[in-house]
Amino acid sequence: MSGCVKAAFSFLGIVLIDQLVKYYVEMTMLPGESIPVASPFFHITFVLNPGAAFGIFRDQQWLFLVTAVFFVVGFLASYARLRRSGCLIHYGSVALAAGAVSNLIDRIRIGHVVDFFDFRVWPVFNVADIAIVLGAAAVLWALFIQKKELLS
């Protein structure tokens, strides 16, 4: 299977899993409802986030929409180059883009992002947020740590 096909499956898998879990949470819970899974450490809590990470820039939907669209267009325009940049940069960028697209779908669909993972010591987040963080970490690792190791 080619790298492009794997990347497409990864992208679609992240978006699909995130959207399906969010849909399930929306259909089975009320906003603000919390279900202890491993109390007191982990709950599933239905939060409608009107902001970005940690709730910053509350109610700035236009900013998030424009930023996400520019990011996705930039990702698509530079995809051929990203694909040749190594595995971590390639798949990290795919995960980052998939998370951004899935959260963008929420913003377009309901005007908020659905969050649900609640560890009580960290703001509530979702699968797309995990993809964004892990994707960004993979890209940064490749750019700064791996590159430095290769040059040593």
How far is 44 from 124, CA to CA, in rounded Å? 9
Is 115 noted as a catalytic residue in this protein? yes
Residue at 133: amino acid letter: V
List the structure tokens of 128: 């797309």
Handedness of CA 143, 144, 145, 147 (dihedral sign): positive
Instruction: Tell me which of 18, 106, 115, 118 is the catalytic residue.
Output: 115
Annotated catalytic residues are 115, 129
